[in-house]
């Protein structure tokens, strides 16, 4: 039974994530940056959806969205969220819980400038999470803003920005035989990161 637990963890979870994410980007057939984002409203009613990780560093995990979307409204009213990465090719997943903050305008502008022009137009045209009567409503918006910005740089809409999940707990899960999976947990404390194992 001594080999059921691997004692090769890295003391810094964000460093460990970076190493694992780098491996996933090479081996995962789909989008390695796809993650489940779970939020809850003031009443505690949860909602979840897939979003794309756009930046991961020692500050946290960044994604972008329309500030009028359901997820943004829930984050603004209840700034805590969880993330889950599942990399089937690696038989690994990472679960993250943390507080959420809005990125700076400078950071949002910088990322927006790297998006493809069609995606920038889409940010203006889509009234994200609002009811849409017909698909043509979206298509007409794309046509309108394509014309409005013809021949000029597309600026970031004020209603579009990013959020950073600042982790206070991270769990690294690894599939093991007979469902005796390995679960390594890092929990942030005033002195740094506490590390412990969980039974599968």
For residue 92, indicate whether it is catalytic. no
- Taking the C-alpha atoms of residue 68 and residue 82, their distance in angstroms, rounded to an integer, is 20
Residues 6+ apart with CB under 8 A from 83: 35, 36, 37, 38, 61, 94, 95, 96, 98, 165
- Taking the C-alpha atoms of residue 195 and residue 16, their distance in angstroms, rounded to an integer, is 13
2, 179, 183, 188: the catalytic one is 179
CA distances (Å), origin 29, targets 33, 34, 45, 90: 11, 12, 33, 11
Residues 6+ apart with CB under 8 A from 172: 9, 13, 16, 17, 20, 92, 94, 182, 183, 184, 185, 186
Residues taking part in catalysis: 179
């Amino acid at each position: 039974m001594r080999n059921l637990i691997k004692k090769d963890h890295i003391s810094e979870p964000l460093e460990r994530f970076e190493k694992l994410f780098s491996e996933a980007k090479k081996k995962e057939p789909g989008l390695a940056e796809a993650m489940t984002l779970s939020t809850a409203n003031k009443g505690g009613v949860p909602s979840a959806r897939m979003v794309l990780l756009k930046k991961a560093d020692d500050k946290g995990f960044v994604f972008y969205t329309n500030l009028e979307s359901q997820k943004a409204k829930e984050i603004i009213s209840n700034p805590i969220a969880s993330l889950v990465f599942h990399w089937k090719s690696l038989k690994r997943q990472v679960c993250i819980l943390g507080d959420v903050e809005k990125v700076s305008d400078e950071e949002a502008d910088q990322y927006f400038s790297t998006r493809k022009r069609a995606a920038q137009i889409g940010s203006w045209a889509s009234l994200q999470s609002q009811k849409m009567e017909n698909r043509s409503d979206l298509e007409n918006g794309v046509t309108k803003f394509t014309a409005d910005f013809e021949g000029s740089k597309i600026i970031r809409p004020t209603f579009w920005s990013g959020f950073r999940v600042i982790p206070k707990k991270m769990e690294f899960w690894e599939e093991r035989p007979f469902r005796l999976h390995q679960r390594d947990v890092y929990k942030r404390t005033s002195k740094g990161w506490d590390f412990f194992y969980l039974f599968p």
